[in-house]
Amino acid sequence: MRVQAAIDIVAPPQLVWGFVTDPTRYLHFMDGVTRWEVASEQVSGCGARYRTLMRVGSAEVGGLVEIVEHEQPRELAWTSVTGIDQRGRWRLRARANGARTRVELRLQYGVAGAGVLGWLAEQVAAPAVRENLRRSLRELKRQAEHEQARAAAAARRAAAAAAAVPTRR
Amino acid sequence: MATQTASGRSRNGQKAEAKPFAKAADGPDEQEPGHAEGRSPIERLVEAVARAIRARVPVADLDERDPDYIRESLPAQWLVASLWFRGEVRGLGNIPEDGPVLLVGNHSGGNMSPDSLVFTLAFSTYFGVERRFHQLAHNLLLSMPGLGFLRSYGTVAASPENARQALSSGAALLVYPGGDHEVHRPTWEGNQIDFDGRRGFVRLALEHDVPIVPVVAIGGQETALFLSRGEGLARLLMLDKLLRLKVLPISVAVPWGLNVGDMLGHIPLPAKITVEVLPAIDLREQFGPEPDVGEVYDHVVTTMQETLEALAAERRLPILG
């Protein structure tokens, strides 16, 4: 089963990239995710492994995943090592000359060999998983735009302070 | 791991309070009722049935647990646990990440106990099917036709020997000390932890120096109207002597209506099942180098009872939760 969600964020791709590649931030913006822990010496980049869990229905499902694609600041993909079969991908694309970012989050999941009931479970779980992704993107947008606004305000204050110093003299 | 077997054949005369579990597994040679002379036809019939059932009890083999089978059946379990029982499991993070651990649960819901399903699903998805996880079950359950698949889940007959094997292999082991005594308690006693004084699980944890993690579930006793354990009926039919069955439960359940024995199971009502996993208890750290078994038992039961009452207070309506 493949579910996906997309959103436009008023922040440059590099800033959003900082969120999606930082494993410590996932618990703060990913809805339904109860665990996203580094499980390898490597914290990020291709080969980094994370132990992930997302609450869906009556279980927390997930497993060990490994980053298999890391193209800054455009593509980040992972695939499952243990647990349910899953493949996830962040796609970041610059819009408005790099001032905005189109963010797409894709998740494919299932259990190979589970037969008809496996297919049924995927269908039943899909709305909840899709809603988790949508909420996650909304929260990512809120946090990223907040950080962008804060950075812009700090830059304005710094510029104002720099402009004010010569006039006093 | 090398194949290990255990049939638990040497526990004649064991006192009830020394058993870790509801009813220890019986080997085919155990507690033979003696010669048939002088017995009534009913006694001989019951004896014959008992022999046939005992012969069906599989020899425990921990290697029968099949992670691939478990993994492939997770979606089906998830459908039942999520849609029918609206299962909710809290506190799985209290279970040590690895190593042997004794999970001690209260047992509810008769022979179609839903708390086992909800908890084993949650455990398997949280820790992964790769983590060794065994459950002890009554002999009769494992010998019932059509339930052989339970062995693929790591379920073995409840006996001290099987429990020791599981913990020695480094597995997490789920036991229900209250066993059939607790699982068939009347519905109006649903919010009571009732291990019937069985303290063997404490000795088991001490012997293997493993932590005890209490697992408290609520909702199971609402899946049917459980009326009585039927202990008198079981004695009358000599089931206690022949099958080590001290109960012959009487309930009102779907689709049977009046359900005596629950041997064929029943369709459980869709009661919401909530399970709370409590912090691990390191017995020697908390109770000293030589813990008193009774003190530990009381502590575990009291802690679980308090949690069960808190979970009961959360429920607004029976079945709906």
Complete edge-to-edge strand list for the sheet that includes strand B155-157: B88-90, B274-277, B212-218, B101-105, B172-175, B133-137, B155-157
To the nearest whole percent, how much of chain B has pLDDT over 90? 67
pLDDT at B321 > cutoff 70: yes
**CB contacts, 8 Å: A118 with chain B:** 72, 75-76
Could you read off the pLDDT of B190-223 as tens digits, one per residue? 999 999 999 999 999 999 999 999 999 999 999 9
Lowest-confidence pick of A148-152, B7-11, B110-114: B7-11
- Rounded to 5 degrees, φ, ψ at B137 are -135, 160
**CB contacts, 8 Å: B92 with chain A:** 60
Closest chain B residue by Cα to residue A118: B75
Q: What residues of chain A score a pLDDT lower than 70?
A: 166-169
Could you read off the pLDDT of A70-88 as tens digits, one per residue? 999 999 999 999 999 999 9
- Rounded to 5 degrees, φ, ψ at A107 are -140, 125
Round to whole Å and give the CA distance between A88 and A90: 7
- Contact of B78 with chain A, judged by CB distance below 8 Å, is answered with yes
pLDDT at B181 > cutoff 90: yes
**CB contacts, 8 Å: A122 with chain B:** 75
- Contact of A113 with chain B, judged by CB distance below 8 Å, is answered with yes
Q: Where are the alpha helices (DSSP H) in B21-133?
A: 41-56, 67-79, 114-127
Round to whole Å and give the CA distance between A64 and B319: 36
**CB contacts, 8 Å: B79 with chain A:** 117, 120-121, 124
pLDDT at B65 > cutoff 50: yes
Q: What is the model's pLDDT at position B56?
A: 67
Complete edge-to-edge strand list for the sheet that includes strand A85-95: A2-9, A100-110, A85-95, A75-80, A59-71, A49-56, A33-38
CB contact under 8 Å between A59 and B71, yes or no, is no
Buried b (16+ CB within 10 A) or exposed e, B174-186: bbbbbbbbbbbbb
Pick the residue of A33, A58, A65 with the most B CBs within 10 A to test the interface with B by mutation: A58
What are the structure tokens assigned to A153, written together?
Answer: 């305000």
Q: Where are the alpha helices (DSSP H) in B14-158?
A: 41-56, 67-79, 114-127, 139-143
CB contact under 8 Å between A63 and B128, yes or no, is yes
CB contact under 8 Å between B78 and A125, yes or no, is yes
Question: Omega before B255 cis (within 30°)?
Answer: yes
Q: Which residues pair with A55 in a beta bridge?
A: A60
Closest chain A residue by Cα to residue B274: A58
Which of B74, B85, B92 is the closest to A111 by Cβ? Answer: B74
**pLDDT, average across residues B19-36:** 40
**pLDDT, average across residues B160-176:** 94
**CB contacts, 8 Å: B88 with chain A:** 58
Helix axes B67-79, B114-127, angle to 10 degrees: 120
pLDDT at B172 > cutoff 60: yes
Cα distance from N-terminal residue to C-terminal residue, chain A: 67
CB-based contact B240:B185 (threshold 8 Å): no
**pLDDT, average across residues B272-280:** 98
- Contact of B258 with chain A, judged by CB distance below 8 Å, is answered with no
Sign of CA dihedral B247, B251, B254, B260: positive
CB contact under 8 Å between A83 and B125, yes or no, is yes
> Could you tell me whether strands B274-277 and A85-95 are parallel, antiparallel, or unpaired per DSSP bridges?
unpaired
Q: What is the model's pLDDT at position B14?
A: 37
Q: How confident is the model at residue B246 (pLDDT cuts 50, 70, 90)?
A: confident
Q: How confident is the model at residue B139 (pLDDT cuts 50, 70, 90)?
A: confident
Q: How many CB pairs under 8 A join A and B?
A: 75
**Selection from A57, A55, A111 nearest residue B79 by Cα:** A57
Round to whole Å and give the CA distance between B237 and B40: 12
Q: What is the model's pLDDT at position B237?
A: 83
Spell out the domains of chain A, with CATH numbers in brackets: 2-160 (3.30.530.20)
pLDDT at B16 > cutoff 50: no
Report ipTM (2 d.p.).
0.90
Please provide the average confidence, as pLDDT, over all residues in chain B: 86
Helix axes B67-79, A115-168, angle to 10 degrees: 80
